[in-house]
Amino acid sequence: MKKQFVLKVLILLIAGLSSTTCFSKRFPNVVLLLADDLGINELGIYGQKEIETPNIDNLAKTGLMFTDFYAGSAVCSASRAVLVTGKNPAKVGIRGNAAFTEKNRWEGKALDRQSITIGEMFKKEGYITGFVGKWHLDDPDDVDTWAYRRGFDYALQEQWTRRFNPKKIFSKEGLWMNGDEILFPYDYKKYDCKDHFYTDFALDFLNQIGEDKPFFLFMSYRAPHSFEGPIRDKSLYLDRGWPESERVHAAKISLFDKQVGRLLEALKRLGKLDNTIILFTSDNGPHHSPPNHDHEFFDSNGIFRGAKRDLYEGGIRVPLIVAWEKITNPMSVTEHISGFQDIVPTLAEILGVEKSIETDGISFLPLLTDEKQPTHDYLNWEMQLSGWFQELPDGGFRQAARIGKWKAVRYGINSQVELFDLSNDPSELNNVADHYPTLVSTAKKIFTTARTDTTGFPFGGIIQNYKAQNRFKFE
């Protein structure tokens, strides 16, 4: 196959450039598995009753499962920015799927060059780095912002239509290899789902890595996102009597789980599993797109309120599974409060480079090694909804903070702060703000001071240009 030949040449070149570096077994391989819009209750191990996810469930049984883990945001781009940089969600440069630009329109914002990415961190330490799937942190017209130029030796990245540059439209669906020179088209008739297609490339990557080279593989899957596309299997769950849109949703998750199983089996077959750290999570809560999918049909967010685009628990509380043979205790569960910003510092500490990486997170390595684990004083989020698909009451601006057992939420800069006691009210149904004015004041201080300004995402989400267009609602 053409892709295998190109990949083999690439790996050999990388190996040749790194031949003077000697690595020992103390440098573990790292595989980061990221689902797209997977709710915390859409995995059997987290409580799902209908959708089958045996491979991910078994992975959790070999390691540590987090119950109080949070995505970087409630939408894809902003969440991924936190994941790859380790920056606080209210300090990272991307706060939504699109920024409002000086051109008076919504468009995606690329990750700033000043932030060191997780790929750049591993590459600097001599790792062979691979990325497959959805990046969502780039300017489609600037390849320098793609994964290939942000720390990944081998990057197969999907790319949306260049919607703001009609003369440079990507007319085919597929994966672009190391920039926009080589396109591998996606054939719906050949693969069970997009993740089947993606995993084939990941296996090629693994098959070409030598014994003495540590690697970092970031698998950014597509399921169960609403735009994942059709699946080939027309019979899976057909006997359940579910609406077709819900059957397809469930099938996408099970087919995705199958691809995770293929990847894990390949690591085992290649003898790499015993020296590989595997992390599995999701970029935000479950999507909700009636009439195509109702997140309540499979109880996708469990007991939690909200879904994708919400800063209530259902939009940002996500699964995290960490499996590291001979290090993590099998069948272990933790209630440690943690988030996407903690993944980079954790891996940096494992590499021994934590002092050279600027992050806002706290490493949870002590938790993995049964040592005393430092905790956050609070976690906080700030996000801006884009105007692509919805009107924007209150400017589409949302904030939240988790302070121990307490959760504060504010939708709109001029709205009242809601306060919930998650220890007694994990579903965030009982607003107790009137009873705890001091905690509300603390939350307001976090909302105004534990943040930075960033281009395209003004504090409060209110831009005069929006009003001039008379297209959106504001308070």
Report if residue 475 sits inside a domain. no
Report if residue 396 sits inside a domain. yes
CA angle 163, 71, 356 (to 5 degrees): 95
Assign 292 a pLDDT band (cuts: 50, 70, 90).
Answer: confident
**Judging by beta carbons within 10 Å of its beta carbon (0-12, 13-18, 19+), is residue 242 exposed, middle or buried?**
middle
- Domain boundaries, position 404: 379-469
Asked if residue 258 and residue 388 are part of one domain, the reply reads no
Residue 402's CATH number = 3.30.1120.10
**Parallel, antiparallel or unpaired: strands 418-421 and 332-334:** unpaired
Asked if residue 401 and residue 297 are part of one domain, the reply reads no
Q: Which of 345, 368, 391 is the last residue of a domain?
A: 368
Q: Which of 9-23, 299-313, 344-358 has the lowest mean pLDDT?
A: 9-23
Q: Which of 347, 368, 389 is the last residue of a domain?
A: 368
Q: How far apart are CA 167 and CA 381, in angstroms?
A: 37
Asked if residue 343 and residue 209 are part of one domain, the reply reads yes
Asked if residue 395 and residue 344 are part of one domain, the reply reads no
25-84 pLDDT, tens digit per residue, is 468 999 999 999 999 999 999 999 999 999 999 999 999 999 999 999 999 999 999 999
**Residue 377: pLDDT above 70?**
yes
Q: Give the count of domains, the chain.
A: 2
The tokens of 406 are what? 């307490």
Asked if residue 311 and residue 243 are part of one domain, the reply reads yes
Asked if residue 386 and residue 421 are part of one domain, the reply reads yes
Report if residue 128 sits inside a domain. yes
Asked if residue 217 and residue 310 are part of one domain, the reply reads yes
**Judging by beta carbons within 10 Å of its beta carbon (0-12, 13-18, 19+), is residue 375 exposed, middle or buried?**
exposed
At 241, the amino acid letter reads: G
What pLDDT is attached to residue 236? Answer: 95
**Judging by beta carbons within 10 Å of its beta carbon (0-12, 13-18, 19+), is residue 220 exposed, middle or buried?**
buried
Report if residue 23 sits inside a domain. no
Q: Which of 368, 403, 429 is the last residue of a domain?
A: 368
Asked if residue 440 and residue 291 are part of one domain, the reply reads no
Report if residue 261 sits inside a domain. yes
Assign 393 a pLDDT band (cuts: 50, 70, 90).
Answer: low
Asked if residue 353 and residue 214 are part of one domain, the reply reads yes
What pLDDT is attached to residue 10? Answer: 53
CB burial readout 258-296, b (16+ within 10 A) else e: bbbbebbebbeeeebbebbbbbbbbbbbbbbbeeebbbe
Report if residue 403 sits inside a domain. yes
Report if residue 358 sits inside a domain. yes
Asked if residue 454 and residue 341 are part of one domain, the reply reads no
Asked if residue 364 and residue 441 are part of one domain, the reply reads no
At 257, the amino acid letter reads: D
Residue 155's CATH number = 3.40.720.10
At 407, the amino acid letter reads: K
Asked if residue 245 and residue 118 are part of one domain, the reply reads yes
Report if residue 255 sits inside a domain. yes
Q: How far apart are CA 36 and CA 83, in angstroms?
A: 13
